[in-house]
C-alpha cells in the first residue's frame, strides 16, 4: 500500500499540456505584438534611415526604446517583488514570481503607446506608474483594475506631454519636415479644427490606404492597422481573443462616426474609415480591450464592454476636448468591468427571467441613451431637430 497524492477533479487539465495555458496565452500576445513592433521599427527607424535622415545608430533607437520599455517593467516588478518579500528574499524567488506575472507585456504596450521621442526618464516614470501603481499595488497579475500600460500612458500623457513634445514628440525625422502635417496627427487636426473635411483630415497624410498601412504620424505602435490586424488574426486563430470584441468596438465607432459625419459634414464613407484608422483605435481594439484581466470575462460582458467603449470613444472624441478618446474611454470603462461582468453573467444564466431581463434592460437602456446623447451632441443635431435641447444639453 502506498500513499498517493491528492487532487481535485478533473485530473486531466489542458493547462498541463505543453502548448496550452496562461503562459502560452501571454507568449502569443507577445508574438502578436511582434508585427506591430517590427512595423514600428521599420517606419520610425529603417525607413527614416533609408531616407537618409538619420544615422545608423539612430536607426536602432525605436527598437531599443520598445525593448527597453519591456525590460523596464520587468525590472520594476522584479524590484517590487524583491523589496516586498521580506521572509524569502532571493533572486530565484523573484524569478519564479516574475514568470507567473508576465511583466514584459505592459512595458512593451506602454512603449508602443508612447511617441518616439519620449525621453527615457519619462519612459522610466511611465513604466513605474504602469507596473507598480497600475499593477503591483492592486495585487499583481490578475488583480489589476486598470490596464497597466494604459494607466502609465495616461498619467504621462496628462502630465508630461509638454516634455515629450519638447523633446521631439511623435514625428520621426522624416515626418517632421513634411509641411502638410503641420505638426499634428490626423486626430489632432480633427480636435483642433472640428471640421469634418477630407482635405484637412486625410489628404495631408496621403490617402486612407496610408492610414491602413500605417505610414502616418502617430505613436510608435498605433499607426499601422495592417500590422495590428496581423497580430489580431494570430490571436484569434490561437483563440487568445474573441474576434467579436474588436469587431464590435471598431464597428460601433464606425457606425457612430458615419452618422455624425453624414449629419454634420455630409461626409462619405471615408470619415468612419478615418475614424477607425486614426488615434489608436485598431491598436486598442486588438491589444487593449481584449486584455483579459481588465475587461469582462464572459461573452456577453465583452460585447457590452465593447459597445460601451465604442460609444464612449466617440463621445470623448467629439464632445470632450480630449483628442485621445480611446485611452480615456478605456480607463473609464475599466472601472465598470466588475459590475458588467456580474450583470452580464446573470443575464447569461437567467436570460429574460427575473432579474436577467431587468439587468439587460438597464444595460441596453444606458447604452442607447449614451449613443443617442453622443450623436445628438457630436452632430450638433439638437440645433437642427430639437432646438430647445440646445441649452438643456
Partner 1 sequence: MKKFLQNNAAVLAFSLILVVIFIVGGIFSRFMTIEKNEFISEYQAAEELRIYYESLIEVAGKGDKVEVFTVEQLAKEYLLPSSETETYQPILDEAYKILENDLEVAVVYIITTHGREEGVKVAYAIDIETKTLIDIKVLSNNETPSFYSALDEDFFLQLSDKTFDDVVFTIDTVAGSTYSSKAFETGMKYARELFARDFNFEIPNIVYTINSIERNYDPTTFVAKPFIANITYGAENMVLEAYFDSQYNLVEIISGNMPNGTYLNLFKNDFPATSFVDLRTHITAYDSSTRVITIRTNGYGGMPITVAFELNETLDGVVGMQITTTQTYDEEYNDGYTGAPAPAVENAYKDAYLADGTYIDAVSSATVTSNAMIRILTLMDNVLEAWNGGGN
Partner 2 sequence: MIFQKAKGIHIEGRKEACKKIPIKDYLSPKYVYIPLLQRATNLKAEVSVGDEVKIGQLVATNEQQMNIRVHASISGKVTGIKKAWHSSGKMVDSIEIENDFKNQLIETIKKEENVDSLTREQLIKKMELAGITGLGGAGFPTHIKYKTKAKIDAVIINAIECEPYLTCDFHFITKYPEKLLKGATYFMRAADAQKVVVAYKTYNYQIREALQPYLSKFPHVELHPIKNIYPAGWEKYIVEQVTKKTYNGLPAEAGVIVNNSATAITFCDAVEMNIPLIARPVSINGEGINHPSSFYVPIGTKVSELVELCGGYVKGLDPLKYNYIAGGPMTGRAIFIDDLIVNDTLGAVIVKKASEGVYPECLGCGKCADVCPVYLTPTEIKKAFERKDVKLLGDLNANKCVECGLCSYICPSHIEITEAVAKGKDLLRKGAK
Does 136 contact partner 2 by CB under 8 A?
Answer: no
Number of other CB atoms surrounding residue 387 within 10 Å:
9
What residues contact residue 331 under an 8 Å CB cut-off, 6+ apart? 146, 147, 150, 151, 154
Q: How far is the CB of 79 from partner 1 (least distance, A)?
A: 5
Which of 13-21, 86-94, 253-261, 262-270 is the region at the interface with partner 1 (rule: CB under 8 A)?
86-94
- In terms of Cβ atoms closer than 10 Å to its own Cβ (0-12, 13-18, 19+), residue 161 is middle
Q: What is the DSSP letter of 241?
A: S
Does 89 contact partner 1 by CB under 8 A?
Answer: yes
- In terms of Cβ atoms closer than 10 Å to its own Cβ (0-12, 13-18, 19+), residue 6 is exposed
x-marked contacts with partner 2 along 204-243 as a string, rule CB under 8 A? ------------------------------------x---
Q: How far is the CB of 386 from partner 1 (least distance, A)?
A: 50
For partner 1, which is the closer residue by CB, 44 or 252? 44
CA dist list (Å): 375 to 258, 324, 371: 10, 18, 6
Q: Which three cell numbers stand for residue 339?
A: 459590475
For partner 1, which is the closer residue by CB, 54 or 225? 54
Among 22, 84, 96, 120, binds partner 1 (CB under 8 A): 120
Among 21, 38, 71, 336, binds partner 1 (CB under 8 A): 71
Q: How far is the CB of 59 from partner 1 (least distance, A)?
A: 11
Residue 21 interacting entry, from partner 1, partner 2, none, C-beta within 5 to 8 Å by type = partner 2
For partner 1, which is the closer residue by CB, 83 or 369? 83
Does 142 contact partner 2 by CB under 8 A?
Answer: yes
CA 208 and chain centroid, separation: 21
- Shortest CA distance to 129 belongs to which of 111, 112, 150, 101? 150
Does 105 contact partner 2 by CB under 8 A?
Answer: no
Q: Which three cell numbers stand for residue 272?
A: 468612419
- Shortest CA distance to 155 belongs to which of 184, 186, 123, 183? 123
Among 90, 121, 137, 143, binds partner 2 (CB under 8 A): 143
Q: What is the DSSP letter of 284?
A: I
Among 25, 26, 63, 119, binds partner 1 (CB under 8 A): 119
Residue 230 and residue 283 in contact, taking contact as beta carbons nearer than 8 Å: no
The residues in 283-312 that bind partner 2, with binding defined as CB under 8 A, are: 292-303
Rg (the chain; Cα; Å): 22
Does 91 contact partner 2 by CB under 8 A?
Answer: no
Element (DSSP H or E) covering residue 41: helix 22-41
- Shortest CA distance to 215 belongs to which of 43, 37, 392? 43
Query: What is the C-alpha to C-alpha distance for residues 2 and 87, in angstroms, rounded to an integer?
Result: 35
Residue 391 interacting entry, from partner 1, partner 2, none, C-beta within 5 to 8 Å by type = none
Binding site for partner 1 (CB under 8 A): 53-55, 57-58, 61, 64-65, 68, 71-72, 75, 78-79, 82-83, 89, 91, 94, 117-121, 123-124, 167-168, 172-173, 176-177
Give contact residues for partner 2 (rule: CB under 8 A).
1-16, 20-25, 96, 100-102, 140-143, 240, 292-303, 341-342, 345-346, 348-350, 355-356
Amino acid at each position: 500500500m502506498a500513499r498517493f497524492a491528492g487532487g481535485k477533479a478533473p485530473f486531466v487539465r489542458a493547462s498541463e499540456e505543453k502548448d496550452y495555458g496562461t503562459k502560452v496565452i501571454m507568449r502569443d500576445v507577445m508574438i502578436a505584438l511582434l508585427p506591430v513592433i517590427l512595423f514600428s521599427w521599420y517606419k520610425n527607424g529603417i525607413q527614416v534611415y533609408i531616407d537618409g535622415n538619420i544615422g545608423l545608430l539612430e536607426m536602432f533607437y525605436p527598437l531599443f526604446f520598445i525593448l527597453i520599455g519591456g525590460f523596464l517593467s520587468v525590472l520594476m516588478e522584479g524590484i517590487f517583488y524583491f523589496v516586498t518579500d521580506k521572509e524569502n528574499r532571493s533572486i530565484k524567488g523573484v524569478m519564479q514570481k516574475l514568470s507567473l506575472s508576465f511583466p514584459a507585456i505592459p512595458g512593451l504596450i506602454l512603449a508602443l503607446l508612447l511617441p518616439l521621442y519620449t525621453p527615457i526618464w519619462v519612459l522610466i516614470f511611465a513604466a513605474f506608474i504602469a507596473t507598480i501603481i497600475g499593477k503591483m499595488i492592486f495585487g499583481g497579475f490578475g488583480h489589476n483594475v486598470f490596464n497597466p500600460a494604459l494607466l502609465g500612458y495616461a498619467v504621462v500623457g496628462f502630465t508630461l506631454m509638454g516634455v515629450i513634445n519638447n523633446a521631439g514628440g511623435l514625428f520621426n525625422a522624416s515626418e517632421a519636415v513634411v509641411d502638410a502635417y503641420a505638426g499634428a496627427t490626423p486626430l489632432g487636426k480633427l480636435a483642433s479644427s472640428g471640421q469634418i473635411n477630407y482635405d484637412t483630415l486625410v489628404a495631408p497624410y496621403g490617402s486612407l490606404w496610408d492610414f491602413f498601412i500605417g505610414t502616418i504620424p502617430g505613436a510608435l505602435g498605433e499607426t499601422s492597422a495592417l500590422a495590428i490586424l496581423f497580430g489580431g488574426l494570430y490571436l484569434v486563430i490561437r483563440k487568445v481573443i474573441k474576434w467579436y470584441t474588436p469587431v464590435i468596438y471598431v464597428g460601433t465607432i464606425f457606425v457612430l462616426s458615419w452618422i455624425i459625419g453624414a449629419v454634420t459634414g455630409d461626409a462619405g464613407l471615408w470619415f468612419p474609415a478615418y475614424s477607425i484608422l486614426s488615434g489608436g483605435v485598431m491598436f486598442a481594439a486588438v491589444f487593449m480591450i481584449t486584455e483579459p484581466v481588465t475587461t469582462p470575462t464572459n461573452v456577453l460582458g465583452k460585447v457590452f464592454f465593447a459597445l460601451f467603449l465604442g460609444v464612449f470613444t466617440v463621445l470623448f472624441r467629439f464632445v470632450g476636448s480630449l483628442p485621445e478618446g480611446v485611452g480615456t474611454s478605456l480607463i473609464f470603462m475599466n472601472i465598470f468591468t466588475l459590475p458588467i461582468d456580474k450583470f452580464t453573467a446573470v443575464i447569461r444564466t437567467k436570460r429574460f427571467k427575473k432579474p436577467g431581463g431587468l439587468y439587460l434592460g438597464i444595460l441596453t437602456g444606458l447604452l442607447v441613451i449614451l449613443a443617442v446623447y453622443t450623436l445628438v451632441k457630436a452632430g450638433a443635431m439638437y440645433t437642427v431637430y430639437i432646438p430647445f435641447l440646445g441649452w438643456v444639453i
